[in-house]
Chain A
């Protein structure tokens, strides 16, 4: 079974600065998908970024980028130029094969200070 670990329960960052959220996972699979989801106070789950394990290049979406270390089973999210709207809970998630079950970490609460 796959496990996803987010060991930091909460973090805080000053507006316009950069913050990195950590995630580690455990799997015996070679091909899989990793995700970061954002959950603002509205409770809606929003996909932030996706990484396919077979791709060596780290995924980037505007101010969001990942550091994917497959051998170390590490998948961190970097948020650059933090904005007040980034305040939310962030979940790291694993998917063994396309379009199947998601396994989530416990989440981290990120607060962006003005």
Chain B
């Protein structure tokens, strides 16, 4: 199992450019989510999905779009990058159900918007 993978690891964008951060998992997890980590702010939830075709907003969704067409993939799209989106982005996934299942995190993508 590769676990949770994220690409790219690093990215530099200019203001106004668009890009997609990729997240994939091979564990057949229903639940997937995106967080951003900023200095002194911890991790904050951007968007999440409880299964293919179902997404919802988290705490800081503005400026980001997501879709979930397959169980494995959960891409995060920046339509028009802004310097305020400079951050480290983490994808996470877990099984669903009533009993607790550990969330697994990807290695993160460091994004810089100039």
Contacts and interface: CB of A to CB of B under 8 A. Distances in A.
B interface bracket (residues with beta carbon within 8 Å of A): 20 to 34
Contacts, number: 57
B28 interface: no
B104 to A, nearest CB: 9
A50 B99 CA distance: 13
Contact of A45 (B31, B90, B97, B99): B90
B40 A106 contact: yes
A99 B94 contact: yes
A98 B33 CA distance: 14
Interface of A: 4, 6, 9, 33, 42-45, 47, 50, 52, 91, 93, 98-107
B68 interface: no
B105 A44 contact: yes
A94 to B, nearest CB: 11
A102 B103 contact: yes
A50 B100 contact: yes
Contacts of B41: 106
Contacts of A47: 102-103
B99 A98 contact: yes
Given A44-B107, A98-B100, A99-B31, 5 more contacts: A52-B100, A101-B45, A102-B33, A102-B45, A104-B43
Point out which of A91, A93, A98, A107 has the most chain B C-beta atoms below 10 A from its C-beta.
A98
B48 interface: yes
A106 B42 CA distance: 4
A44 B48 CA distance: 20
Contacts of A42: 107
Contacts of B61: none
A33 B101 CA distance: 11
B87 to A, nearest CB: 12
B107 to A, nearest CB: 6
